[in-house]
Chains A and B, each alone.
Chain A
Amino acid sequence: MNWLAIAFWLLLYAGIPGVIAMHLHRKETKINRFATPTTILVLAGIAGTATMLGRSSDYGPLDTAEALLHLSIPGITYLIGACLAIFGGPTPVGPIPKKWRRGGVILMLISISLIIVQTVEPENLPIGPPIMHEVAISSLLVGISLVGAIGTVVVLSIGENRWSAAIATLALSIGSISLLAMLTTSDTSTIDATIFSGAIGDSLKSAIGTSVGIGFGLWISFHVAIIIERGEKLPETAFQVTEDEMELVKKHLNMNIGGEEE
C-alpha cells in the first residue's frame, strides 16, 4: 500500500469520525468553531488523494465510491419509501395524507425490484454495473438474509404476535437466500458463478468476523476506559459541607418531616 492510499484510508476512517465528534460539541466552544474548516480539509484530502490514486488494477477509492453509489440507489429509495409508509396517515401532529403511505409502499416495491434486476441482469440497467458489483450485491444479500432471520426471531419474541412483520422479514431473508442460490448456480453468460461464490463466501466471512470483531473491540475499549477512569482523581465539584450547613439541613428536615413549628 503506498502513502497516498494510507492517507486516503486514514482520512476516511480516522478523519471523518474526528470531525463528526467536533461537530457534536456545543456551539460556543472553540472546538466547534474549528469543526467546519477541519471538515472541509478532511473532505478535500479525501477527494485529492482519491483523484491522485485514480483507477488501478486493484480495488481503489474510485471503485469503492462507484460500488457505494450502486448500493445507495436502491437502498436510499427503499428508506425513503419506508419513511413515507411509516409517517403516512394519522400522526401526533395531525393527519398526513394516506396516499403518502401507498406511495411509500410503491417505492419500497420498486427498490426491491431494482435489487433483483441489479442481481440477476445488471447489464440491462441504464447505469452499468460497477467493477466491485459482485462484492456489493453479495454483501447486500448476505446482510439482508442474516438480519432478516434475526428480525423474524426478534419480532416473534416480543410477544405481541406481529405476524405480518415477521412474515415480511422472513420473506426478505428467504428471497435473499434464493437470489444467492441463483447466483451460485447460474450458468448464464452474464453471471460468473465462480466469482460470485467467492464473493458470497467472503461476504459471509466478513459478516461473522465483523460482528465478532466489533463486539470484542467495544468490550476491550469499555474495560480499558474503566481501568483508566478508576485510577483518576475525581475533580472537586463542591466544597465539603460545614457543621452550620448540616445543622440547618437537619432543622429544615425536622420542621418538614417531624411537624415541628418554626
Chain B
Amino acid sequence: MSRKQSLIVLFISIMTVATIIGWLVGWNLSEFETIFTGILIKSLMATTVTWLILATSSTSILHRGRAPRTLTIALLLLSIGGLGLIEIVSGGLPRGTLAILTVQWAGFAMGASIVLFTILAIATGRDDEEDSLLAMDQP
C-alpha cells in the first residue's frame, strides 16, 4: 500500500468508527450545529492546554536569551486568548468541565496505550524466535 493510499484508508477507518459510535448514541444531522459547537469547545480547550503546557515547560530555559522569554510570553498570551475564545464560544463553561476532560484524556491515553502495547506484544513476542548468539553454542 502506498503512503497516500494508507492515509486515505486511515481516514476512512477513523470516519467509519466515529460514524458507528455517533449512530449508537443517536446523533443525527439536525443536531449538527450542537455537535460541531461541542467539538469546537473541546478543540479550543485542548489547544489552550497544549499552549499552557508548552509555555510552562519552557520556563526553565528563560535564562538562555531573549527568544525563549518571548516564546514563553507569546504562548502564555495565546493560552489566555484561548480561554477567552472558549468563554465566547461556550457562553460560560459549565462547572466540572475540566474534571470531565481530564478523565477523558486519561481514558484516551489508556486506550491508546492498550492498543499500542498489544501490537508490540504480538509483534515482538514470537515463539519461533531464537537468540542467534545462544544458538551458536548449540551443536
CA distance A94 to B119 in the complex (A): 23
Contact B119 A155 (CB under 8 A): yes
CA distance A138 to B104 in the complex (A): 8
Instruction: Count residues of chain A with CB under 8 A from any CB of chain B.
Output: 105
Q: A13-B49, A142-B21 are in contact. Are A89 and B125 (CB under 8 A)?
A: yes
CA distance A86 to B24 in the complex (A): 35
Residues of A contacting B60 in the complex (Cβ-Cβ under 8 angstroms): 18, 21-22, 24-25, 31
Residues of A contacting B24 in the complex (Cβ-Cβ under 8 angstroms): 177, 180-181, 184, 197, 200
CB-contact partner of A86 in B5, B95, B124, under 8 A: B124
Contact B134 A61 (CB under 8 A): no
Identify which of residues 1-55 in chain B touch chain A, using a CB-to-CB cut-off of 8 Å.
1, 5-6, 9-10, 13-14, 16-18, 20-22, 24-27, 35, 38-55
Contact B54 A209 (CB under 8 A): no
Q: A22-B60, A90-B129 are in contact. Are A143 and B111 (CB under 8 A)?
A: yes
Q: A15-B56, A21-B57, A153-B10 are in contact. Are A217 and B46 (CB under 8 A)?
A: yes
CA distance A80 to B99 in the complex (A): 27
Residues of A contacting B56 in the complex (Cβ-Cβ under 8 angstroms): 13-15, 17-18, 21
Residues of B contacting A12 in the complex (Cβ-Cβ under 8 angstroms): 102
Contact B108 A143 (CB under 8 A): yes
Which of A121-129, A164-172, A242-250, A254-262 forms contacts with chain B? Answer: A164-172
- Nearest Cβ in chain A — how far from B122, in angstroms? 4
- Nearest Cβ in chain A — how far from B39, in angstroms? 5
Q: A143-B108, A168-B119 are in contact. Are A209 and B25 (CB under 8 A)?
A: no
Most interface-central of B42, B50, B95 (chain A CB within 10 A): B42
- Nearest Cβ in chain A — how far from B73, in angstroms? 10
Contact with A along B123-136 (1 / 0, CB 8 A): 11101011100100
Contact A172 B114 (CB under 8 A): yes
Residues of B contacting A214 in the complex (Cβ-Cβ under 8 angstroms): 46-47, 50
Interface: A239 (CB within 8 A): no
CB-contact partner of B38 in A197, A209, A224, under 8 A: A209
CA distance A209 to B121 in the complex (A): 30
Interface: A68 (CB within 8 A): yes
Q: A13-B53, A162-B123, A221-B75 are in contact. Are A206 and B21 (CB under 8 A)?
A: no
CA distance A216 to B54 in the complex (A): 13
Contact B120 A86 (CB under 8 A): yes
CA distance A15 to B78 in the complex (A): 18
CB-contact partner of A156 in B1, B105, B110, B124, under 8 A: B1
Identify which of residues 47-86 in chain B touch chain A, using a CB-to-CB cut-off of 8 Å.
47-61, 65-67, 70-71, 74-75, 78
Identify which of residues 82-114 in chain B touch chain A, using a CB-to-CB cut-off of 8 Å.
93, 95-96, 98-114
CB-CB nearest in chain A for B46:
A213
- Nearest Cβ in chain B — how far from A122, in angstroms? 15
Contact B114 A95 (CB under 8 A): no
Residues of A contacting B103 in the complex (Cβ-Cβ under 8 angstroms): 64, 67-68, 71, 132, 135-136, 139
CA distance A249 to B99 in the complex (A): 64
Contact A216 B57 (CB under 8 A): no
Contact B110 A59 (CB under 8 A): no
CA distance A227 to B119 in the complex (A): 39
Q: A78-B114, A139-B108, A208-B18 are in contact. Are A17 and B57 (CB under 8 A)?
A: yes
Contact A139 B122 (CB under 8 A): no
Q: Which B residues lie at the A interface, using CB under 8 A?
A: 1, 5-6, 9-10, 13-14, 16-18, 20-22, 24-27, 35, 38-61, 65-67, 70-71, 74-75, 78, 93, 95-96, 98-125, 127, 129-131, 134
